Amino acid sequence: MNDLHFSTRIIGTDFEKPDAHGAIALPVYRNAAFEFPDSEAIAAAFRGETGKHTYSRISNPSVANFEQKVRTASGAESAVALSSGMAAITNTFFAIATAGSNIVSSPHLFGNTFSFFKSTLEAFGVEVRFVDTDDLRQIESAIDANTCAFFAELVTNPHLEVADLPAISNILRAKGVPMIVDTTLVPWCAFDAKKVGVDIEIVSTTKYISGGATSTGGVIVDYGTFDWTKNKKLAAMPQPKGISRFTAKLRSEIVRNFGAVMTPDVAAMQTLGLETLQVRYDRMSATAAELARHFAGHHKIARVNYPTLKTSPYKAVSDALFSGHPGAMFTVELGSKADCFRFMDALKIFRRATNLFDNKSLVIHPESTIYCTFTPEMKRTAGIEDTLIRFSVGLESVEDLKNDIENALQRVCIIYP
């Protein structure tokens, strides 16, 4: 299987057990509980000795099937599916962080991740140390004996910065710190996380994977590359068979106690989404690149941001990591917030909505929506400006999207020479 191309491998991944009726897609196991022939059989299942499902908050065949496809897609040792990207982020950090520990992170984060770090986690005594991830010395000097993880978004949302993960990985390996990366913006068909030193990958599967915004979901992917005896919380655990201490802690305690699991219906939809991932990604990413190229230098736009543009400081690292396909999100900066609103209100194909990588093209003004509860100080730290508009490019014709943007730009007042 491993010598086959991405789409062939994903579509060809078989179920764990053959279906009784030979169904070509795994039927949805829409049940909460599983029955056992006798008391010893259910006791053995609860002790984890048989691999049998007991209760769908703990594991479920439809969800396990999705997790298996994610392992095929990523090449990882294990994958744990949850109810959203935020559930994947929160469960990950509750598995590894203790009061007194710290996380070294970029401050340029999706708004809810920033809020989780600064509001939720810090209330439990976990410090989050923000660093400029372009400055390797800052990362190195922020790490100390209490650092439980380095965290970054692969491509930051909405700033479109791309951290030099191979260089950061060298520092983290030397310091014994795991690299945890939110790779939501570039999926497995365009990026090999393991190759660049990612230990734990977090994905909001709501985005590309769900197959057109069918459902919310998240997945925690463990490459089995980190030695968790270096983590204060996990060091004392006995080494489980076949999985890391981190994934064992997640499965046996954190995920089942928080209960934010992926449901069987969602797993079935997202399994189908994975099967069409590459065609959708290639098309959306190519359209985003063309729109960014076309509108760069437009007299009504102060700046277009997209990693393949020559003006992006991240072009070289993006080209190296993503073979020229950094995804379907791009941003534009206009002259004022009022111009942003006038422009967005005139769009006819792009829908004003807060999501990424739907089949439909979307547009949002992050400052007044996703970050609206942030104080001015938090917005400054998170680098959020009120002149920025974020686009998520869907599957419509590139010409129609170009015309939509061009027509809406007529409503913009501030002009650049």
Ligand X SMILES: Cc1ncc(COP(=O)(O)O)c(C=O)c1O
The contact set with ligand X (CB under 6 A) reads: 84-86, 110, 113, 153, 157, 182, 184, 204, 206, 216, 218, 356
Answer yes or no: are the C-beta atoms of 361 and 393 closer than 8 Å. Answer: yes
In the complex, least distance from residue 42 CB atom to ligand X, rounded to whole angstroms: 34
In the complex, least distance from residue 382 CB atom to ligand X, rounded to whole angstroms: 13
Q: Each residue of 147-163: b (16+ CB within 10 Å) or e?
A: bbbbbbbbbbbbbbbbb
Report which of 64, 43, 52, 12 is spatially closest to residue 261, judged by C-alpha positions.
64
Report the residue number, 249 or 390, with the smaller CB distance to ligand X: 390
Report the residue number, 86 or 277, with the smaller CB distance to ligand X: 86
In the complex, least distance from residue 84 CB atom to ligand X, rounded to whole angstroms: 3
CA–CA gap between residue 40 and residue 38 (Å, rounded):
6
In the complex, least distance from residue 355 CB atom to ligand X, rounded to whole angstroms: 7
In the complex, least distance from residue 109 CB atom to ligand X, rounded to whole angstroms: 8
In the complex, least distance from residue 147 CB atom to ligand X, rounded to whole angstroms: 22
Report the residue number, 185 or 412, with the smaller CB distance to ligand X: 185
Q: What is the CA radius of gyration of the chain?
A: 22
Report the residue number, 13 or 84, with the smaller CB distance to ligand X: 84
Report the residue number, 84 or 278, with the smaller CB distance to ligand X: 84
In the block, residue with structure tokens 């980190």: 226
In the complex, least distance from residue 182 CB atom to ligand X, rounded to whole angstroms: 5
| Cα 261–Cα 266–Cα 272 angle in degrees, nearest 5 | 130
Indicate the DSSP class of residue 116: I
Q: What single string gives the DSSP state of each residue in 220-286?
A: EEE-S-S-GGGSTTTTTSPPPSSS-HHHHHIIIIIHHHH--BPPHHHHHHHHHHHHTHHHHHHHHHH
In the block, residue with structure tokens 């598995």: 95
Report which of 47, 81, 52 is spatially closest to residue 65, judged by C-alpha positions.
81
CA–CA gap between residue 273 and residue 97 (Å, rounded):
32
Report the residue number, 13 or 271, with the smaller CB distance to ligand X: 271
In the complex, least distance from residue 165 CB atom to ligand X, rounded to whole angstroms: 15
253 phi, psi to nearest 5 deg: -135, -60
Report the residue number, 94 or 228, with the smaller CB distance to ligand X: 94
In terms of DSSP bridges, do strands 329-333 and 351-352 run parallel, antiparallel, or are they unpaired?
Answer: unpaired
Report the residue number, 108 or 249, with the smaller CB distance to ligand X: 108
In the complex, least distance from residue 274 CB atom to ligand X, rounded to whole angstroms: 15
Report the residue number, 65 or 84, with the smaller CB distance to ligand X: 84
CA–CA gap between residue 337 and residue 329 (Å, rounded):
20
Q: Which residue's CB comes closest to ligand X?
A: 85
In the block, residue with structure tokens 């449901």: 263
Evaluated on CA atoms 133, 138, 142, 143, the torsion sign reads positive
**H or E element that contains 319:** helix 315-322
Report the residue number, 160 or 289, with the smaller CB distance to ligand X: 160
User: Could you give the 3-state DSSP secondary structure of residue 170?
Assistant: helix
In the complex, least distance from residue 330 CB atom to ligand X, rounded to whole angstroms: 14
